[in-house]
Structure 1
Amino acid sequence: MTHHHNKKFTRKTLARLIRSASTLSFAVGALGFGNSVYAQEGAGIEEIIVSGQRGSVQSAQLLKQNAEQIVDSIVSDDIGKLPDRSITEAIQRISGVTIERFISIGDPEHFSAEGSGVAVRGMRHVRSELNGRDSFSASGGRSLSFEDVPAELMAGVDVYKNPSADMIEGGLGGTVNLRTKMPLELDGQKIGLSASANYGDFIEETKPSFSALYSNRWDTNAGEMGILLDVAYSDLATRTDGIFNRAMFARTDIVEGQKMWLPKGADWRTMEYQRERLGTYGAFQWRPSDTTEVYLTAFRSSYDMQWNEDAIFVNNDPWTLGSDNAVFENGVFRSGRLYDTANDGMSYGADIRASTRESKTTDFSGGVKWQASDKWSFSTDLQYTKSTTDSLDSTVATAIDLPYLDLDLTGRMPKITSDASYLADPGNYYWAFTMPHIEESEAEQIAFRIDGEYTIEDSFLRSIKFGARATDRTADNIDTAYNWQGIYQPWMKGWKLDPDQPLPKIQESEYHLLNLNQYPNFFKGKGNMNGVVWAPSLDLALGYPKSFQDLHGAASPNYICCDDFTLRDKNDPDWSNRQEENTYAVHAVARFGFADLAKPIDGNIGVRVVRTEMTADGFLVYPDFTLNQAEEKPFNAPSEFLSAENSYTNVLPSLNLRMQLRDDVFLRFAASQAISRPDFSQLKSFRNLEASFRDGQNAESNIPASEVRLSSTAKNPYLKPIEADQFDVSAEWYFDDKGGMIYGTLFHKSLTGIIRDSVVRETYNGWDYNVTRPENVGSAKINGFELGYNQFFDMLPAPWDGLGLQVNYTYIDSSTNIPDAADADNEGATRSAVDTDGTPFPGKQPYEGLSKNAYNIIGMYEKGPVSVRLAWSWRSEYLMAIGANGYDGDNGGVNESNGTYYRLPIWSDDSGQLDGSIFYNINDNFSLGLEVNNITNSETRTIMKQIGAGDRYASFFVNDTRYALTLRANF
């Protein structure tokens, strides 16, 4: 048997396979699985073997070259072997795709080792599909949490940058399609097994993972049949340490007659993360004849996660801090001792925060494909999807009043020093607060699709495709919100606590409820902090609700009034919300081609019309709040049922053109209109009214009711989708069929209806509230380009002829037009960035999550039994949020004396990570390999930007270098 490559035969044969397949998704199964293609010529058999990384790159190249849309792909180069350990890590290698290294973009204080949210061309409004069908997680959004899905189940992942009208609407940034394998795409019986030991060098734990696949096909009297069964399990443990600088505040009482910037302080924390992920997939295919196919698939993914965070954090009033020996540079604090001039000490909190999440997504799909004649073909597809997510975010905190804090900001990271013996004495701590948050979500969807296509011969019009799709989706959500409840707080003195007595300290009989955090090997030995911290035990956080009730109950005898602890029962209908959404879509697509032109042109033009109808039911919840004196109009009242209806119709045209300049050079143009519906979490019919005392006020102040701060957090079931006009122009040169190509793409997106929080004044029960709710208020323009280059260097002398290289680069620029919100009594109404002294930031901030520059460099080597891969991904700084938690006036930044309210922009700094793998094929059936993530022990940083105090690092994170020793077997 002869092994060789035939360029012309390989390209034409594989292209024909793709074009003749009913969908691009299923065509790739034959290309990607094992990456071998077999062909016959005449009486002899000619075998063309393309395997490993080389085969994966070639398959992805063919997908891009032959697709009607602009698409980039990652293809598995073996059974259960995407090139990275998770789907998010794999698709970040695609040009235009970036991932978050935080649990969410709006939470810059919690790092995520595996990466989380996926953005395409800077847009997080990304549709997720499983084999071309809708897929989602029941977490309030519309997309699948890609970290929930085992990468081992995938045959490949396609990222569509600009859609055609027959694609499901909703991918404003793009559409990510996860492809599984189908049994009739495989050659006979296939068995694949893998097992890994995963080790994190920071947490110093080893966890297992495994996967198994069985597939077979048979010719029977009833036709050709095939089954495929696939299961994958993985366990992971990581640790992340963080150090935090806090905001600077302009003070005129530190140095007489001068404006000096003094920090609120600095703090640190450590987080341990554990997750288990189990995925199962089964498929059945039956071809009773050459013209008919029936298929059934079942998919289930389970994700169980828990992270525990031990933190000591700044809790003091920035306006009462003093310093006698501070060193300033251009009016900005550089080093010195901080202390509190008005209280018993600098208030610091020490908490244990436990966050758990259990998610399950189940998908059952089935359909029929029928080639009715040479010209007519039809297909139908019925899908049922159910997803559930249950989460508990539980925080319990102690607090301590530090006599001082020595802070040195002259180095790259802050050096934090305090009285170590004072920190080590549990008798100096008091119980501070509890804060639980329960969320339980369940979503179900039934989707039905029917398509038909009429093929036309001897005409520039190649075919007309038409179809309809209908969905019925329900979403039930229980969300108790973050229920902060103070136990002992300094501001309770004179009201809830005796003003002449110190805050009650933790008693020796309660020491068993504490845990001594010694922070061993903190920041991998590079952290500049001292002291141990007594914080609540993990059992207290996980023991909710009884442990919380016990803590508050033990404190109640020390109160002189107002034992107002309330426990939010998740079964209380006040915290429930139900939504139902129905969509009805029709589409028509005309495919055309002008083969007789000097430069042949083909493509498609079409339109998709979709109607969306939704209802939302929930509650208006009044505050549980009273004053000592009689009130003419009480704040509290029975909850009220809220119901809302919303509907809209969108017409979405699209055009995709391809011009063939040469056999191997193509130009493309794509134009389309797209929408992204609001997340279900934004569409709730829910309004929670809140009443609270302003700073310095309490129940004993005999203040008039009109002086109580009244606010509300609400959602908006009347939101409309974000809309975009988008254009792409690309040039592609496929200079060899062994994975060699160069491409460049220019793109533009014009967005309208961007959703941001607004603050409006509304009256409830006779009282005026400042209500914060999302609204369609802004627009943006996004422009950029992508460049890419792939090649295997077969022309080099041995052994260097096994080298290969993939490089891509993305540039994105944006401008936003988001009008500022109306000021509502300095209650944070502004959407703009505001410094801590009340100075607005000039100009408009860019679109969140959008790095101007990003690139990937992937080096490959494949020769004989050895396969090596090194992948470096880098992205420039990007705006995470304006006024995220901890960087806005809600965290002690409101100065009641001058009304200052601040919202600081927080940026993620430039970041890069190097990952790699080396595999050795022991024989035709077995391979052994080592995979490593975060080889260079990269440090992730955020940047806090201020006008008066300048820019500086806000936080620093380090996490594990992760190793996976893997054994694979294929039969």
Structure 2
Amino acid sequence: MLKRNQLALSISAAVLSGGLMAPLAIAQSDEAIEEVSVTGIRGSFQDALSTKRNADAIVDAISAEDVGKFPDKNIAESLSRITGVAVSREFGEGERVSIRGAGPDYNRTTLNGQSVGTADWFILDNPSRSFNFTLLPSTLISSLEVTKSPQASQDEGSLGGTVNVRTHRPLDLDAGQAAIAVESIYSETSEEYDPSISGQYSWKNDSETFGVLVSAAKQDRTVQRSGFEVLSWSDEATPGVMVPGTMGTPTFFQERERETLFLSAQLRPIEELQLTLDVLDTSMDADNMNANWLVLTGENAVDHATNGQLSGNSVVASQISGDGSGVVNWINRVSSSESQSYTLTAEYVTDAFSLDVVAGNTSAKGGTYRETSWEYGWSGGDYEFDLNTPSLDSNPAPSDADAYTATDGWIWGGERPTTDEETYFQVDLELPIEAGAFTSIETGAKFRNAERTQQRIVYSWHAPETMTGDEDLADSYLGYIFANCPTLSSCGLNSGGIVSFDTPAGGNSTTALAQMRDVMEQIAFVGFNGVSADYARSLDLANNWAVEEDIFAVYAQANFEGDNYSGNFGLRYVSTEQASSGYEFSSDSWGFQTVDRDWLNPSYLAWVTEDNDYSEILPSFNIAYDLSDDMVVRTAVARVMARQNWNQISPFETFGALNAPDPQGQAGNPQLKPFLADQLDVSFEWYYGDVSAFSATTFIKKNHSYLAQETFTEARYDEQTDTWVDVDFSRPVNGDGGLVAGVELAVLHDFDNGFGVQANYTYTDTGSDSVVGISDTMANLMGYYENDTFGARMMYNYRSEWSKGFHWNGNPLSNDAFGQLDASFSYNVTDNAQITLEAVNLTNEQVVEYSEYEDRLMSLYENGRRFVVGARYNF
């Protein structure tokens, strides 16, 4: 290892966070190496380069410039600048990452090498194995490492790559080192200023045997997202012609409040032994509400197919006179998410061996804990739509409170909490050896026990006896509400007046009544006119489930090194046992069991478990060969695996609106086997200047299977119409596999005068347009300037269209190409004080989703621009 460690000392710069890094030559001789201290952006490049250049596997890295000073406010945004990594931005922030032909659900994210429990707050997010990066503030991060070629000693579970988030450790920092930052964030769509404050302090004793680091952050954000939605496409009523079923102009509001605390304590009681305790506690209050003015276009499908404007076989514009209908859908949700992790690591190092023992637990809970959705409607009116624009007009208008009546209305709601927990224990042993080129043998074992659960409860204000037997008032509390609040002009439901939304859609649907959350929640959950609110709570039996997973892994790995090469090869054996549990029930209670009163109760109900188990042997081989002092070739061969999504292997069931034509639904499959792939990676790196470099990487993956869909039809009960409706369900199955091939190109050029440019490009060919989360083209372009007092970066990130799987109603869903321009500036007031300015999404890029073809618009969202001004002080 001596040669590579000496080589690391000669490296002093790396490319921007695109993952390509370059060495800066340091004057050196046979007797001494001159140490050069590099700070700021170039200093972060140096740290990242050291990580990449010393790795035997193919690894890209991003490093913080200083304690609490990561390049982006959102970790996923930083990851998006690495070659081969793509990011989804559902609500204007990076949330999930796709890597090298594998979607977000088939890549692992770890914190200091271990899992972090995740439970999403959004009610439409399905429990998955992807990690939501909005839960981790960037201020506590030391570096990010993306490993694209696995080693036997590394946890399995990724098809594309593993993201390891590293935090600072107290014994690695100077005693008494601290930083504090305050920021104000302005969001263009909500027109709100939100505060953010973070701080970090690290201490250790004079003998450097004990240290404690504490990092804390509190961040608020007001989210407003306006847009246009088509909720379904169908040709059931018009064979051969696809007609939009329901469309509207939604506006989403949310107040996010995130608090994070991280503690790291280290103890070195003797020279050979070091103990580290890491504790993470992060939570986010995510209450939200959504207002959508909907036109039920599917009810006029035949007229649209006959008289509407067609693009291909899709109706993209039409109008109806006198026979239209629509509703306002106001949804209010109490939502949150929180995660904790506790990890204790013991490292014992001697000349004879190194032993690491890790034990820990991580847990999360989150979701929607209370939801209410109000619908008032109209019928017999007019409307017209144009998806080319898009625009939506209706008569009566959304501002006409008297026209929206309870006659065409409904109130529903519920709960959807989820949990995620994992307990882990691992032992790793490394034995130094001298056997030719072999330098050490590593072996170890790891046990993980994980459980993911989902609960779904629905509220029924129309249930019997919700008026406590007072039939003189109404037959149910829903009947009482509608009798006393017959239109939106009643009971204060229109007390907020009329508002206009800044939305990418046109038509009078963008000028509507303001949503009155307080009024609706008072009526729904407290009562009014002296009558107490009441509703039945029933389990939605098909959507209550639990999946438990026991994983045992053991590995052996040999490390080798010669004059101009180094690497490793090994085997990892993994055994997985899964138990998917859910309700088995008769259909005589419409799939519900009322838990707070005697109403709906199936004649047969049982909690049943379906087992599934499999084991795999995963070989891996990595080698790095130095062609010269400034050229390196890396080759990696491996078999990788990723387990299927929790949601997909659960016995869940969900479906869209039963009053729409051709209702679609989805169901789980507990017998799914994991994804397996054989991969080959070859990379070339040429460090041709002090801070200038070029790299090219090619990768090929042979996927043994892709996720396919099979369909079946079953009837489901529609509460609102008291009828049974056939639903076409799709469920995942292991389908045929295929090849994924790609090329990554990256270049960094520094002009030696403070200016520099970095660019990278990734092309991925999956052989199919339906592989979830993958764009065939991704690119980054970044320019930077830095001197002793001022720094600036302009960053453009682009990805071509990608599949998102299936919409909740069963339609295929894709996201159109997306490109985002960001900028950041910093000014050093003193050596310790800095002022920063950031701008996110300067071009106000819109998120566009469609079904199969671009003329079948599903949604158009505008998240707007964000501007951040802040001040930071180091102690």
Bin for the TM-score computed over the shorter chain: 0.7 to 0.9
The change in CA–CA distance for 1:238 and 1:331 in structure 2 (over 3 A counts) is: closer
The change in CA–CA distance for 1:651 and 1:325 in structure 2 (over 3 A counts) is: closer
**Offset of residue 729 of structure 1:** 0.9
Distance 1:330 1:143 in 2: 36
**Offset of residue 308 of structure 1:** 1.7
**Offset of residue 618 of structure 1:** 2.7
2:301 aligned residue (298, 301, 319) = 319
Asked whether the equivalents of residues 8 and 50 of structure 2 are also in contact (C-alpha less than 8 Å), the reply is no
Q: SS of the counterpart of 1:880?
A: strand
Of 273-282 and 398-407, more deviation after overlay is shown by: 398-407
Distance 1:906 1:915 in 2: 27
Asked whether the equivalents of residues 623 and 690 of structure 1 are also in contact (C-alpha less than 8 Å), the reply is no
2:162 is equivalent to residue 175 of structure 1: yes
**Offset of residue 866 of structure 1:** 0.2
**Offset of residue 420 of structure 1:** 5.9
Aligned to 1:646: 612
2:389 is equivalent to residue 465 of structure 1: no
2:823 is equivalent to residue 916 of structure 1: yes
**Offset of residue 714 of structure 1:** 4.6
2:400 is equivalent to residue 448 of structure 1: no
One-letter code aligned to 2:802: Y
Aligned to 1:594: 562
**Offset of residue 295 of structure 1:** 1.5
Q: Which structure has the bigger radius of gyration?
A: 1
Distance 1:391 1:58 in 2: 44
2:584 is equivalent to residue 620 of structure 1: yes
**Offset of residue 98 of structure 1:** 0.7
1:718 aligned residue (643, 657, 671) = 671
Distance 1:262 1:134 in 2: 44
Q: Give the RMSD, CA atoms, in angstroms.
A: 4.4
Aligned to 1:276: 257
Asked whether the equivalents of residues 160 and 175 of structure 1 are also in contact (C-alpha less than 8 Å), the reply is yes
**Offset of residue 90 of structure 1:** 1.4
Asked whether the equivalents of residues 880 and 907 of structure 1 are also in contact (C-alpha less than 8 Å), the reply is yes
Cα-to-partner distance string for 1:33-71 (whole Å, 9 max, x where unaligned)? xx9999999999976221111111222122112111111
Cα-to-partner distance string for 1:155-204 (whole Å, 9 max, x where unaligned)? 11111112101001101221111110011111332011101011112211
The change in CA–CA distance for 1:79 and 1:852 in structure 2 (over 3 A counts) is: same
Aligned to 1:159: 146
2:603 is equivalent to residue 637 of structure 1: yes
2:644 is equivalent to residue 678 of structure 1: yes
Distance 1:167 1:718 in 2: 26
Of 466-475 and 661-670, more deviation after overlay is shown by: 466-475
One-letter code aligned to 1:384: N
**Offset of residue 584 of structure 1:** 1.3
**Offset of residue 439 of structure 1:** 2.0
Distance 1:776 1:9 in 2: 46
Asked whether the equivalents of residues 543 and 653 of structure 2 are also in contact (C-alpha less than 8 Å), the reply is no
**Offset of residue 273 of structure 1:** 2.6
**Offset of residue 775 of structure 1:** 2.8
Aligned to 2:469: none
2:281 aligned residue (300, 320, 343) = 300
Cα-to-partner distance string for 1:806-855 (whole Å, 9 max, x where unaligned)? 21111011125xxxxxxxxxxxxxxxxxxxxxxxxxxxx43122111110
Residue identity (%): 27
**Offset of residue 960 of structure 1:** 2.4
One-letter code aligned to 2:331: R
Asked whether the equivalents of residues 36 and 51 of structure 1 are also in contact (C-alpha less than 8 Å), the reply is no
Aligned to 1:746: 698
Distance 1:335 1:793 in 2: 54
2:848 is equivalent to residue 872 of structure 1: no
Aligned to 1:25: none
**Offset of residue 859 of structure 1:** 1.2
The change in CA–CA distance for 1:249 and 1:615 in structure 2 (over 3 A counts) is: closer
Aligned to 2:597: none
**Offset of residue 871 of structure 1:** 1.0
The normalised TM-score by structure 1 is 0.76
One-letter code aligned to 1:303: M
Q: SS of the counterpart of 1:308?
A: strand
**Offset of residue 323 of structure 1:** 10
Aligned to 2:778: 854
**Offset of residue 784 of structure 1:** 0.9
Asked whether the equivalents of residues 348 and 402 of structure 1 are also in contact (C-alpha less than 8 Å), the reply is no
**Offset of residue 931 of structure 1:** 1.1
Distance 1:910 1:867 in 2: 30
Q: SS of the counterpart of 2:766?
A: strand
One-letter code aligned to 2:195: P
2:680 aligned residue (727, 733, 738) = 727
2:855 is equivalent to residue 931 of structure 1: no
Of 915-924 and 308-317, more deviation after overlay is shown by: 308-317
**Offset of residue 621 of structure 1:** 3.1
Distance 2:312 2:705 in 1: 43
2:742 is equivalent to residue 784 of structure 1: yes
Aligned to 1:557: none
The change in CA–CA distance for 1:318 and 1:689 in structure 2 (over 3 A counts) is: closer
The change in CA–CA distance for 1:516 and 1:408 in structure 2 (over 3 A counts) is: farther
The change in CA–CA distance for 1:407 and 1:885 in structure 2 (over 3 A counts) is: same
The change in CA–CA distance for 1:603 and 1:9 in structure 2 (over 3 A counts) is: closer
Asked whether the equivalents of residues 165 and 608 of structure 1 are also in contact (C-alpha less than 8 Å), the reply is yes
One-letter code aligned to 2:803: L
Distance 2:585 2:237 in 1: 43
2:629 is equivalent to residue 663 of structure 1: yes
Aligned to 1:523: 503
Q: SS of the counterpart of 1:456?
A: strand
One-letter code aligned to 1:587: Y
The change in CA–CA distance for 1:332 and 1:775 in structure 2 (over 3 A counts) is: closer
Distance 2:530 2:302 in 1: 30
**Offset of residue 453 of structure 1:** 0.9
Q: SS of the counterpart of 1:418?
A: strand
Uncovered stretches (5+) of structure 1, i.e. residues with no partner: 1-7, 19-27, 103-111, 488-495, 498-502, 555-564, 627-633, 696-708, 795-800, 817-844, 889-902
Distance 2:307 2:445 in 1: 73
Asked whether the equivalents of residues 678 and 701 of structure 2 are also in contact (C-alpha less than 8 Å), the reply is yes
The change in CA–CA distance for 1:415 and 1:718 in structure 2 (over 3 A counts) is: closer
One-letter code aligned to 2:517: L
Aligned to 1:561: none
Aligned to 1:219: 206
The normalised TM-score by structure 2 is 0.84
Aligned to 1:956: 860
2:339 aligned residue (361, 370, 391) = 361
The change in CA–CA distance for 1:644 and 1:335 in structure 2 (over 3 A counts) is: closer
Cα-to-partner distance string for 1:80-102 (whole Å, 9 max, x where unaligned)? 12111111111111111111122
Cα-to-partner distance string for 1:315-363 (whole Å, 9 max, x where unaligned)? 24133536999677899867664236xxxx3111211123443221111
**Offset of residue 641 of structure 1:** 2.2
Aligned to 2:187: 200
Q: SS of the counterpart of 1:59?
A: helix
2:134 is equivalent to residue 147 of structure 1: yes
Matches within 5 A, 1:525-604: 527-529=506-508, 532-534=511-513, 537-539=516-518, 542=521, 546=525, 567-569=536-538, 576-595=544-563, 600-604=564-568
**Offset of residue 601 of structure 1:** 2.5
**Offset of residue 753 of structure 1:** 4.0
Bigger relative contact order, structure 1 or 2 (CA pairs below 8 A, ≥6 apart):
2
One-letter code aligned to 1:657: I
Asked whether the equivalents of residues 427 and 506 of structure 1 are also in contact (C-alpha less than 8 Å), the reply is no
1:414 aligned residue (368, 376, 390) = 390
Cα-to-partner distance string for 1:555-593 (whole Å, 9 max, x where unaligned)? xxxxxxxxxx984446x9886434332211111110112
Asked whether the equivalents of residues 639 and 677 of structure 2 are also in contact (C-alpha less than 8 Å), the reply is yes
